[in-house]
Amino acid sequence: MVKCPTCEGTTCIESADDVLDSIYQIYNACPECQPEPGWKKHTALADQPGMPAINNFNAGTLRCGSCARRPLDAVMAHALSIMLKHGDRNDDAGLSQVGTPLIAKGFPIMYPPRLGPDSIVLITDNVGLKVAEDIVDRVPEIKGVVSRQGGQAESVGILDSDSSPHEYTLLAGCDMRCDVAQTVFGELVIYKNQSKIHIEFDNHHKMDILEKLDMQGLLAGRVVVDGMCGPGTLGLMSMLAGARKVVFNDAWRPAIKNLLLNIEVNKELLGVDVELEVVVPVEDLSVVGNDPVLVARVMRGGEQTVVAAEVYFGDLRKLSGIVEIWDVCLIDAFPAMEPSDFVNIWTEKHPGGNVIVV
Ligand SMILES: [Zn+2]
Ligand SMILES: [Zn+2]
């Protein structure tokens, strides 16, 4: 059992196998579930058909008597009723003004989900601490409330080691959630501290790039650098695709912390004989890295133990002076970031290598 790095609880982190076993059923309506309420997103809560008075909205409202779950709209309306009571939203606010619900175990579903306990991290603006605490206390489905700072387009994290980090604020509960990443190489479960890690709604184009690299023979048996690895999706996928070695790097401590957790959680999917060896404890690192530090290694056993992956914490530009042998360098830059500096340094270092901006 892995303890949650945010709340230290024992229910936030499940092994990848357990997540993948349950994920395809947990959001389906049961035979007894009532139809979706079908509320309009911009209509004031009080004007919705069949809506209980704000003061009567509680954890039982619209809950299925059989499976004990609720539709997403009911969960969001419950949160809105609490915001309205505290005066954090105007009386005419509709469901669209509650915030962005991120499903705790995220994977692409084509229908509105039915939700059980602790299944939403709510990203929102303009909500006070008291309200956030009240929402986590009273709405069983919401496990954490995160306050968005800055504009929607401003990514959480750091652009490079010279810039200051941008973070959201965890107001109440826990912000740990995961996404199921699906590719032709298999599935992985990627956990994220959502107040500290960039929110990604669609990573299909990145998966497509990896599949293309694989078809070109650039993943299996190769050394792949995941230069701005974040919680590790691309590098872990490269491991699944049979890379000889993956070099992970990020200059943002929360990303490294999430990556190490994700290596642990996905160990069985990566290979039965895989072991994580920590070289430098994450707590000993500064928040933003500069000169690259080797934090951990992933060893693969068998007849002879080999290094399947290395985890570095530091500036990707400087890492080019440390990693001598590599075939592919993936640079997964934020949308607002200009990656040419990184591309040039790596290309000059190894003209035969493939530097790919993802
Ligand atoms: Zn937690
Ligand atoms: Zn039901």
List the alpha helices (DSSP H) in the chain: 16-22, 72-86, 129-138, 204-215, 233-240, 253-265, 267-270, 316-319, 340-349
pLDDT surpasses 80 at 303: no
Nearest ligand (C-alpha, residue 175): 1
> Residue range 259-269: average pLDDT?
94
Distance 66 CA to ligand 2 centre (A): 5
What's the DSSP call for residue 123?
A: E
Sheet with 293-300, side-by-side order of all strands:
274-278, 293-300, 306-313, 245-250, 223-226, 328-331, 354-357
Three-state DSSP state, 28: coil
> Residue range 176-190: average pLDDT?
93
Whole-number CA gyration radius for the chain:
22
* Top mean-pLDDT range of 35-39, 68-72, 151-155: 68-72
pLDDT surpasses 70 at 160: no
Q: According to the model, what pLDDT value does residue 293 have? A: 97
> Residue range 149-178: average pLDDT?
80
Task: Write the DSSP string, 249-282.
Answer: EESBHHHHHHHHHHHHHTHHHH-TTEEEEESS-G
Q: What is the mean pLDDT of the chain?
A: 91
pLDDT surpasses 80 at 201: no
What's the DSSP call for residue 112?
A: P
Q: According to the model, what pLDDT value does residue 162 have? A: 65
Distance 12 CA to ligand 1 centre (A): 5
Nearest ligand (C-alpha, residue 113): 2
Model confidence, pTM = 0.93
Counting residues of the chain whose pLDDT is more than 90, the rounded percentage is: 73
Banded model confidence at residue 152, pLDDT cuts 50, 70, 90: low
Q: According to the model, what pLDDT value does residue 55 have? A: 78
When mean pLDDT is compared across 68-82, 217-231, 342-356, the lowest value belongs to 342-356
Q: According to the model, what pLDDT value does residue 284 have? A: 95
Burial class of residue 308 in the structure, from the number of CB atoms within 10 Å of its CB (0-12 exposed, 13-18 middle, 19+ buried): buried
> In whole angstroms, what is the distance from residue 109 CA to residue 126 CA?
29
Q: Strands 293-300, 169-173: parallel, antiparallel or unpaired by DSSP?
A: unpaired
> Residue range 55-62: average pLDDT?
90
Nearest ligand (C-alpha, residue 8): 1
pLDDT tens-digit readout, 83-99 = 999 999 999 999 999 99
> Residue range 102-113: average pLDDT?
90
pLDDT top residue among 26 and 55:
26
Torsion of Cα atoms, 251 then 254 then 256 then 259, to 10°:
-140
CA 258 from chain center: how many Å? 9
Distance 333 CA to ligand 1 centre (A): 28
Please give the single-letter amino acid code of residue 304. Q
Burial 119-142 (b: 16+ CB within 10 A, else e): bbbbbbeebeeebbebbbeebbbb
Distance 31 CA to ligand 2 centre (A): 6
When mean pLDDT is compared across 74-78, 151-155, 184-188, the lowest value belongs to 151-155
> Residue range 144-169: average pLDDT?
77
Please give the single-letter amino acid code of residue 286. S
Banded model confidence at residue 45, pLDDT cuts 50, 70, 90: confident
pLDDT surpasses 70 at 305: yes
Distance 146 CA to ligand 1 centre (A): 13
What residues does CATH 3.40.50.150 cover in the chain?
Answer: 204-357
293, containing H or E segment: strand 293-300
CATH 3.40.50.150 for domain 204-357: yes
> Residue range 49-61: average pLDDT?
84
In the structure encoding, which two tokens stand for residue 351, read together? Answer: 């003209």
Q: According to the model, what pLDDT value does residue 46 have? A: 86
What's the DSSP call for residue 202?
A: -
When mean pLDDT is compared across 118-132, 148-162, 246-260, 272-286, the lowest value belongs to 148-162
Tally Cβ neighbours within 10 Å of residue 153.
Answer: 8
In the structure encoding, which two tokens stand for residue 163, read together? Answer: 């810039």
pLDDT top residue among 292 and 333:
292
Question: Which residues keep their CB under 5 angstroms from ion ligand 1?
Answer: 4, 6-7, 9, 12, 174, 176
Banded model confidence at residue 52, pLDDT cuts 50, 70, 90: confident
Banded model confidence at residue 38, pLDDT cuts 50, 70, 90: confident
In the structure encoding, which two tokens stand for residue 138, read together? Answer: 């009273």
